Amino acid sequence: MSLRVFVPCETTALSLGAEDVATLISREAAARGLKIELVRNGSRGLFWLEPLVEVDDGTGRRAFGPVEPGDVASLLDSHFGDDHPLALGPTDELPWLKKQQRVTFARLGVTDPVSLDDYRATGGFDGLHHALELTPQQLVDRVKASGLRGRGGAAFPTGIKWQTVLDAAGAQKYIVCNADEGDSGTFADRLVMECDPYMLIEGMIIAGLAVGATQGYIYLREEYPLAHRHLDLAIARAEAAGYLGNNIQNSGRAFALEVRLGAGAYICGEETSLLESLEGKRGMVRAKPPLPAIEGLFGLPTVVNNVLSLAAVPSILRDGPEHYAGFGVERSRGTLPFQLAGNIAQGGLVELAFGHSLRELIEDFGGGSASGRPVRAVQVGGPLGAYLSPAQFDTALDYEAFSAIGAVLGHGGVVVFDDSVDMAEQARFSMEFCVEESCGKCTPCRIGSTRGVEVIDRIMRGENRDANMALLEDLCDTMIQGSLCAMGGMTPFPVKSAYTLFPEDFQRQGGEA
């Protein structure tokens, strides 16, 4: 057999030169008369090793990385030998991968993302075929039994949301996928859509069968052009193969799917703002109730789920809810893909069952800070999540344990800071972010964040520090209690954690380092 060479076609790998590497491998192989099959796979999620090139000569895949264009000639001269300086050994034996518990991301980086044959050969659409044999209530019951909770941040039980839509009256119901991934340090949604788009499509079809919806929309962040291309191509191929349309696999059941682009507003990651935008209006928060499950898109019953929630569904149907619920602890069942970013030596995606510690994630997988300096703070759960100090790094990664210390797991984003960080500046950034991204509908969020920036500026200049610290405390409480949605209601979380855990950064005189 010819040598199969895998070069990722994914945004991070491409930004680091994967396209040039792929072109050079083809050119250099041809010049040597070497017969190869070049496969453009997805990323494995080991970003510090990208571009990660793999080869398979029939004995299993071996990895090389990070490969730069200047390395290609020597790799071919050595016939991708194990003695090459970039040789990493068998891919499946890489400790960073081997220690993970990949369930949702088991296919990540293994296949050609837009190949239907690859998807079906690795268990793809097995869950859908099983779903077509079940009633809507049986489908909802299986999702309930899996313990799956919304992976977008709120962690609301997915099966309960689906039950509400199933029970709601409506001539038309919708499945809306929130793919407006905007939290700092997060990229798991993007990896699903770029590297395994059929998994999301299959999850949405199953959701439609479960609640009686025949139309779905993926509301995609416009800054993800590669994900857009892969989704459009995968949807077209799924339609041609009878997985989408008016007669899914000759079952007589229907589901159609479209991608709609957002316009770059962070607030449209909030489900009601997303629905407003999807209807062609300005993205502004709706008051709840009514819940979108009752009156959602165009006033009709709608399931709004995050990419990761829907992507988990095919494996639940294929392997059974007991298998998925077998991972995790207490009420946090299954796995969560954590995304390591910021000042971290080994950034990337780590899928683990709930219950491991934050320290294990940062030190064992992340390898500490990229700068080599001590890690001083970590923000988990995006820009609205609290900052954590090293004293909290032994906290278990589960929803309840994080709630107990006033933090959130959110979407699983983990941003690391070393000891050069100024936490007063980070608190100011949190308020400033809210100023920029607030939809402006409610006063605590719109005005509170602006006043918050002003108060923190006075504190940092040393003006009436005690009085302004008291004012900041009152302002945070007002935003938490009075805001209409999580944007204003959670912005104070990182601010409060910054001045509670790192008070010395708020005590410096103006300009003092």
Q: Residue 201: which of 88, 99, 113 has the closest Cα?
A: 113
In CATH, 116-326 is 3.40.50.11540? yes
Please tell me if the domain spanning 116-326 has the same topology as the one spanning 328-418.
no
CB 307 within 8 A of CB 178: yes
* 358-43-381-273 Cα dihedral, nearest 10 degrees: -170
CB 292 within 8 A of CB 274: no
Q: Looking at residue 2, what DSSP letter applies?
A: P
| Tokens of residue 150, six digits | 């919304």
Architecture of domain 328-418: Roll (3.10)
* pLDDT at residue 510 in the model: 59
Beta pairing class for 413-418 and 61-64: unpaired
CB atoms within 10 A of CB 313: 31
Taking the domains of the chain in order of start, what are their residue ranges?
3-99, 116-326, 328-418, 423-506
* pLDDT at residue 47 in the model: 97
Low-confidence spans in the chain with pLDDT less than 70: 1, 509-513
* pLDDT at residue 509 in the model: 58
Per DSSP, the residues of 391-405 read GGTTSBSSHHHHHHT
- Rounded (5°) CA angle 124-117-336: 35
pLDDT digits (tens, 9 = 90+) for 368-414: 999 999 999 999 999 999 999 999 999 999 999 999 999 999 999 99
What topology does CATH give the domain 3-99? Glutaredoxin (3.40.30)
Burial track 217-236 (b if 16+ CB lie within 10 A, e otherwise): bbbbbeebebbbebbbebbe
* pLDDT at residue 508 in the model: 76
Distance CA 164, CA 303 (A): 9
What topology does CATH give the domain 423-506? de novo design (two linked rop proteins) (1.20.1440)
| Tokens of residue 138, six digits | 């049986």
